[in-house]
Amino acid sequence: MNCPRCQTRLENKTIVERNGQIEIETCPSCEGLWFDKGELNLLENISEPVLFEWRNLCTEYEQLTPLNCPSCGDHPMMKKAEHPRDENVVIDYCEHCEGTWLDGGELEAIQKESWPIAIFNLLKKLS
């Protein structure tokens, strides 16, 4: 699977949380994160602080560039979903496989305002 933003090959990363561990894909170049269906919700119990060391958010221009789903075979265009309380955070969401792409920095931005709740509300809005 390649990064939808910069086409770098994604690397597996294991996140340890209270109830086990989650495998996600990360881009070593732009620090984006790919979550398969349901994985984002599992992050609620996260206990590994390394995930939160992200650099600044992409520019607005980059945020608004349409991305293709890296997971689906025919690479459909992903939907943009603005974070309900922070318009600088634009999440890319695939309607087909229900995967979610977070650009580098977005997770940190979400985390700053009680992000598990924020993400939960966002996903509720999307479905």
Number of residues that bind Zn ion (CB under 5 A): 14
CA neighbor of 41 nearest in space, from 118, 121, 107, 116: 116
C-alpha distances (whole Å) from 48 to each of 39, 68, 95, 110 are 15, 29, 29, 16
Applying CB under 5 A, among 75, 97, 111, 116 the residue interacting with Zn ion is 97
Site membership for Zn ion, residue 102 (CB under 5 A): no
- Interaction pattern, residues 11-50, with Zn ion; x per rule: CB under 5 A: ----------------x-xx-x------------------
Stretch that binds Zn ion, among 4-12, 35-43, 59-67, 110-118 (CB under 5 A): 4-12
Report which of 30, 32, 123, 20 is spatially closest to residue 115, judged by C-alpha positions. Answer: 123
In whole angstroms, the minimum distance from the beta carbon of 37 to Zn ion comes to 9
Q: CB neighbours of 30 closer than 8 A, spacing ≥ 6? A: 3, 5, 6, 8, 58, 103, 104
**Stretch of residues binding Zn ion (CB under 5 A), selected from 13-21, 53-61, 88-96, 110-118:** 88-96
Which of 34, 71, 107, 108 is in the footprint of Zn ion by CB under 5 A?
71
